[in-house]
Structure formats: C-alpha cells, structure tokens
Structure 1
Amino acid sequence: MIVTKDNDSSVSSFIAQLEVAFHHFDLQRCDEKTLFVTVLLKYRGQKVLCDFIYIMNQREMYGAISINEHYKHARTFIQQHFRHTLLYSDELQLARNFMNTLHFKQILHQLENEYPTFIA
C-alpha cells in the first residue's frame, strides 16, 4: 500500500519501495560528532541525490536527510513518485536502514581511524 495522503501519521510504506544506494563519502566534510554520506534515492529507474547527516552523541547515533542543496529535490522526488510528504520520521527510518549496510560500516571504520575516540 502506498500512502497517498499528505500528513498521514501511519508508517510510510514507500520506504520499502525506495532503494537507497551509496554514492559518495568525503571524510573532510565530517568531524568527531557529525557524519555526512551522499546517497541516491532510486525508484523505477529514476534517482535523486541526497545527503544523510548522522549526529553522534555519547550513546547513540541519529540520522536524517541533511537540509542542504539536495533536500528540496529529495522531497520533490518523494512527492512526485509516492504522493507523500516526506516526514522527519521517514528520514529517520531511511537513515537508520542505511546504517545496516556494508558501505556504512566501512565509512564508520574510516571515521574511527580519523577520530579514534569516536567509537569508545
């Protein structure tokens, strides 16, 4: 089922239909508390770039879509393909799902090498 109403409070089912593919990682954009990863959101042969931003505190890591030059395009992409307004909860889920990928684990390893106290 695709969510077709704006502001629907149910869990967004479009997430299962959307492919999130690693695109680019630049360690220079990061610091010991902030991690940026550029990904492609893909659906039926169309794609759009967006950046996930992960904020690290002492116990947990939270991720969402970074509000930058790609943000408007990502929101429009979701609206056009799924007739759904991208919610913050959707962003959190997409970023959390990406954390389970091999690319993300490799990125964390690079960040850990740069900032050894990061994953204490």
Structure 2
Amino acid sequence: MKNNYFSSVPSFIQQLEVTFHNFDIERCDEKTFYITVLLKYRMHKVLCDFIYIIDQEEIYGAISINKHYEHARNFIQQHFRHVLMYSDELKLAKDFMDTIFFKRNIQLFAKKYPKFVASKNIS
C-alpha cells in the first residue's frame, strides 16, 4: 500500500528552490556546519539555516531549529499545504550538498576545522 505522504514529497521538493544566502564560519564549531539559504517558491522566499552534523560517518543535515525555523515551516505550509517533516528537511539539506555553494563553504570550514571533514568525500 502506497503512503500518500511519500508520493507527495517529490512534487513539493521539486517545486521549491533552495539557494545560497550566507555562510558565517563563526556560527560553526568542529562538529556542526551552518549555512543560511533561501527557500523560494515563485516570487516568495524565506530564510532558513541548514545545520550539518560533521562528526558522524556520513554528513547529514536538516533545517536548524532557530529563529528562522517557524518562518520556514509556515512558508511550506502556506505555499504547499504540506506539514514540513524531518524527512523533508533531510532531503532538502542532502540535495543542497550537491551545490557549488555548499562545496565551497565546506572547504572553508575544513580549513578551520579539519578533524572530521578530512575523512569525508566532499568535492
């Protein structure tokens, strides 16, 4: 039996544009990498931060629960009539890892905090 939630996720994520906004290395520590992005849908946009956990076997990320989180959740609810779930956040953050903006900034992060990044395949 197909779960309706999972069948609706690809269209929601495919319609959402995630673009780089800012990277501030001072917000990071050796185990956590933060990067600020814009979630865009048509002419609407909202800021949010992705947080990536670096000290695990594989890097994974989600939307950081901070001052932008509720705005991002409301944005998804308003424009897609979808309740933002953790699995959505994981997918969005993982997809963002393929961008040049992630790759450039994780390299800056690795220069300052090489301990956990050195073993990861990031190019």
Q: Which residue matches 2:83?
A: 85
Q: Which residue matches 1:117?
A: 115
CA distance in 2, matches of 1:82, 1:65: 17
| CA-CA distance at 1:57 after TM superposition | 2.2
Q: CA RMSD in A?
A: 1.4
1:9 is matched with which residue: 5, 8, 24? 5
After the TM superposition, which residues 93-108 of structure 1 pair with which residues of structure 2 at under 5 Å, given as runs?
93-108=91-106
| CA-CA distance at 1:15 after TM superposition | 0.4
CA distance in 1, matches of 2:4, 2:116: 37
After the TM superposition, which residues 10-25 of structure 1 pair with which residues of structure 2 at under 5 Å, given as runs?
10-11=6-7, 12=9, 13-25=11-23
- How high is the sequence identity, in percent, across the aligned residues? 64
Q: Extract unaligned runs of 5+ from structure 1.
A: 1-6
Q: Tell whether 2:44 aligns with 1:43.
A: no
CA distance in 2, matches of 1:102, 1:113: 17
Whether the aligned pair in 1 keeps the contact of 2:55 and 2:116 (CA below 8 Å) is no
Q: Which residue matches 2:121?
A: none
| CA-CA distance at 1:8 after TM superposition | 4.7
| CA-CA distance at 1:62 after TM superposition | 1.1
Relative to its length, the structure with more helix (as a share) is 2
| Structure 1 runs of 4+ with >6 Å offset | none
CA distance in 2, matches of 1:109, 1:83: 36
Query: Can you list the C-alpha shifts for 1:44-88, whole angstroms capped at 9, x where unaligned?
Result: 111000000001124111100000010000000000000000010
Whether the aligned pair in 1 keeps the contact of 2:52 and 2:59 (CA below 8 Å) is yes
